[in-house]
């Protein structure tokens, strides 16, 4: 039995803003898929009868939803606290990742929202990668390193987006 991804979030999200993030395409696609709950969390895998237990294998503190992976699991929470946002997401503040994304975007509307939302996207990607490294290779990543790598990825992306510097031309 196949269970379709919850694509209802598409009507609530402003995808144009998502595609304008300062991030590589795979991060934009990841955020879109995460907002649509189309990510291989153990909860989604359990719905497809691919795993029996939908609990988070990292912390064993409840179901491993996409919100849990990116926001509520203790390693994710530590990463958000280590970030420049110094943020601790609460499950009481929103109902889905899509809802959270929109609320954060609205909060940042007048303060360089695109740059901040880009950093958030890079941070979510870093948390996802660290989770996968833990699941597949048993490697534990330090939350400060996850944040620093997200910021480094953003800055590398921005450097590569700048036009090359014009070299000086010597006239004879």
pLDDT in tens, 20-53: 899 999 999 999 999 999 999 989 998 999 988 8
The whole-angstrom separation of Cα 72 and Cα 70 is 7
Could you read off the pLDDT of 61-119 as tens digits, one per residue?
889 999 999 999 999 999 999 998 888 888 888 788 988 888 888 888 766 678 889 99
Radius of gyration of the chain (CA): 18
Q: Are 111 and 84 in contact (CB under 8 A)?
A: no
Q: Are 52 and 46 in contact (CB under 8 A)?
A: yes
pTM for the complete prediction? 0.84
Domain ranges of the chain: 8-39+72-156
Residue 140's pLDDT band (boundaries 50, 70, 90)?
confident
């Amino acid at each position: 039995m196949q269970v379709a991804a919850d694509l209802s979030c598409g009507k609530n999200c402003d995808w144009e803003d998502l595609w304008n993030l300062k991030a590589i395409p795979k991060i934009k696609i990841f955020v879109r898929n995460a907002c649509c709950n189309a990510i291989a969390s153990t909860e989604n895998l359990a719905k497809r009868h691919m795993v029996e237990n939908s609990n988070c294998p990292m912390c064993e503190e409840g179901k491993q939803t996409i919100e849990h992976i990116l926001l509520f699991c203790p390693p994710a929470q530590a990463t958000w606290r280590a970030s420049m946002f110094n943020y601790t997401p609460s499950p009481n503040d929103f109902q889905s990742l899509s809802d959270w994304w929109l609320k954060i975007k609205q909060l940042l509307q007048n303060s360089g929202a695109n740059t901040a939302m880009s950093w958030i996207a890079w941070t979510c990607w870093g948390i996802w990668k660290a989770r996968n490294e833990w699941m597949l290779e048993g490697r534990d990543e330090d939350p400060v390193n996850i944040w620093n790598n997200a910021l480094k990825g953003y800055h590398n992306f921005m450097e590569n987006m700048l036009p090359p510097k014009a070299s000086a031309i010597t006239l004879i």
